[in-house]
Chain A
């Protein structure tokens, strides 16, 4: 289990995942050796799964992001699996979440511009299997994106 030192390290590490271990150790008030040992232990235990680079899709020319909320046909028992397998084949789908609630799934889709999005929507999205209902929400702005856990 985690103790206070682990939590303190994780708190600082989450705020700046690119910082060197020495800086992180200093911020958390431990020695570099302790910090490195704790990080290794948390990686070993699978608490820290990865430290990932985050892509700015706009810098690669993807200006449009749409959130598609999907309801599936419930009469088909394998609808979820079939839908998910097909959605994974669409490269512009960057996130897939499944839900318990009013909608079954959400796809986050990126496109170069509205014309590209319209083309994707018609050719790749609407052809996904077992869609009972679909609605799109257009991203205007990201206000908070850090995804930090309140440890």
Chain B
């Protein structure tokens, strides 16, 4: 596993803020030369600590006013294969994330919709039609914060 020093951690935080910053800009912020910054960035990427890049989009401006977290319990475990459910749910465009969890529910879905009536359409026509779907609990998201995590 890669060991990160204080500068690496600051670099990682910077990349989470904006992954498109050139090495020269990052170097200036951290007081490093451009080649030294570039070597560190490369080491971080090579270690697999950064698994990709994600666009942070303003959902409201793009017309997606509603995000709902759905807890889904499978009704027919064993009979319908979990693979079928996972494949079908992942294919729904409004379903942004699918997580298999242990506890009160089997899956957590993050669903986007234009508004509440659009969400109702997704829920009734898409989610409730999934193979093996049982109890569904919906929580409408009011706010969200992504925290930097333990790299401070």
Residues on A facing B (Cβ under 8 Å): 2, 10, 13-14, 17-18, 45-57, 59-62, 67, 69, 88, 91-103, 106, 110, 135-151
Contact = CB atoms under 8 A, between A and B. Distances in A.
Contacts of B105: 137
B39 interface: no
Interface residues of B, number: 63
B5 interface: no
Interface in B70-97: 86, 89-90, 93-97
A101 to B, nearest CB: 3
A2 B62 contact: yes
B18 A50 contact: yes
**Which 4 pairs show the lowest CB-CB distances between chains A and B?**
A101-B139, A150-B93, A137-B103, A17-B53
B16 to A, nearest CB: 5
Contact of A59 (B2, B15, B103, B147): B2
Nearest to B95: A144
Interface in B28-72: 47-59, 61-62, 64, 69
Contact of B53 (A18, A61, A106): A18
A51 B102 contact: no
A46 to B, nearest CB: 6
A14 B147 contact: no
29 contacts: A17-B52, A17-B53, A18-B19, A47-B57, A47-B62, A49-B56, A52-B15, A52-B17, A53-B50, A54-B16, A54-B54, A57-B149, A60-B4, A88-B145, A91-B149, A91-B152, A97-B69, A97-B141, A99-B69, A99-B142, A101-B140, A137-B105, A142-B100, A143-B86, A144-B90, A144-B97, A144-B98, A148-B96, A149-B96
